[in-house]
Amino acid sequence: MMISIRSALILIFILQTVSARVVQPYKADYDDEDNIYTPEEEEEDEGNPAMGLMMQMAYNHSIPFEDLRACEKKKEAACPSPSEDGSHPCIALNDICDHRPQCPGGEDETPVICFFHEMHEMELARLRRTAIAIYRDSMNHHAPRSHGRN
């Protein structure tokens, strides 16, 4: 399978972004005065928080700040294509790649997005298995030993 350089760069950027969020999750908000993205208190995100950004980057769309913020507050992804009223609808992260297009342009079901979504899920599963194995190994090495009398 051949992918374009642009697609490869987008995937690398998103994987780095997601990896950073997995290692050090944060909750962020926008500063309304000058539209600066600033981190807030740390809080664990549910689903795939980078998916909205991935959809926007993959399709070279510009989603208005207000729509991005509204979707982020609901922990949902903003669709890259606007609806008939001009707004960019939010979709639940669990609705991405569910074989039913929710975005007006169907971007939530395209091969690029679903490939990233599947790779992200597989990587998170691998990280979970590794973390469990490390935890179990550390518990076995640090388990209290019986000092029974002989």
| Predicted confidence (pLDDT) per residue in 131-140, tens digit | 888 888 888 8
> Given CA atoms 101, 106, 108, 114 in this order, what sign does their dihedral have?
positive
> Given CA atoms 104, 109, 110, 115 in this order, what sign does their dihedral have?
positive
Is 63 in contact with 51 (CB distance < 8 Å)?
no
Is 113 in contact with 58 (CB distance < 8 Å)?
yes
Between 37 and 7, name the one with better pLDDT.
Answer: 7
CB under 8 Å to 61, separation ≥6 — which residues?
A: 55, 80, 81
Q: Give residue for tokens 């597989």.
A: 122
Residue 78 tokens read as: 């903003």
**Region of poorest pLDDT, from 6-10, 62-66, 117-121, 127-131:** 6-10
Backbone angles phi, psi at 78, to 5 degrees: -85, 135
Rounded CA separation 143/60 (Å): 53
- State the average pLDDT over residues 96-114: 90
Q: Give residue for tokens 């922990």.
A: 75
pTM of the model as a whole = 0.48
